[in-house]
Amino acid sequence: MEVFFYTRLVHWFQETPNGMYQYFIKVVPTICTNIRGYKIQSNQFSVTEHYKSPEIGRRSLPGVFFFYDLSPIKVTFTETHASFLHFMTNVCAIVGGIFTVAGIVDSFIYHGHKALRKKMEIGKLG
């Protein structure tokens, strides 16, 4: 089994010299288990970038700084199949929801039509 990792290469140019770049990197260990029991140990990560420009009259430390936050909690994804009973329960819930909404719409139409007919009869009598 081949596993491909996607990496993104970014280029940019900073017009103002002597700025401070800060990267806050959060890493979460992750295990993915497929339906056949094959495990892939990997990491999820997120990066937040912060740029601080130099202030006039104040000293600032130019550079690039990396701050790592390694999570002590491991995330586990496990692929499973839903049982046939679970599938049938979902189908019954969907069908029941359709009947309920259809009943509400039918009730609105029936009572609206009844009220309109009553108004028209009152208008004809007067």
User: Phi then psi for 3, rounded to 5 degrees?
Assistant: -120, 125
Contacts of 47 (CB under 8 A, 6+ apart): 23, 24, 25, 26
For residues 96 and 76, state if they share a domain: no
Tell me, what's the pLDDT at 76?
Answer: 93
**Do residues 23 and 64 share a domain?**
yes
On whether both 55 and 92 belong to a single domain, the answer is no
| 108 membership: H or E segment, kind and range | helix 84-125
Query: Average pLDDT of 7-24?
Result: 75
What's the mean pLDDT when you consider all of the chain?
85
| Structure tokens belonging to residue 16 | 């103002």
Rg of the chain over CA atoms, in angstroms?
Answer: 31
**Residue 122, pLDDT score:** 77
Instruction: Please tell me what DSSP assigns to residue 83.
Output: P
Q: Are residues 71 and 90 in the same domain?
A: no
* pTM score of the predicted model: 0.51
Residues 66 and 126 occupy one common structural domain = no
Query: Structurally, how many domains does the chain consist of?
Result: 2
pLDDT at 38 > cutoff 50: yes
Does one domain contain both 103 and 77? no
Residues 123 and 100 in one domain: yes
Selected residue with higher pLDDT from 32 and 5: 32
In tens, the pLDDT along 87-99 reads 999 999 999 999 9
Q: Which range of residues forms the domain containing residue 64?
A: 1-81
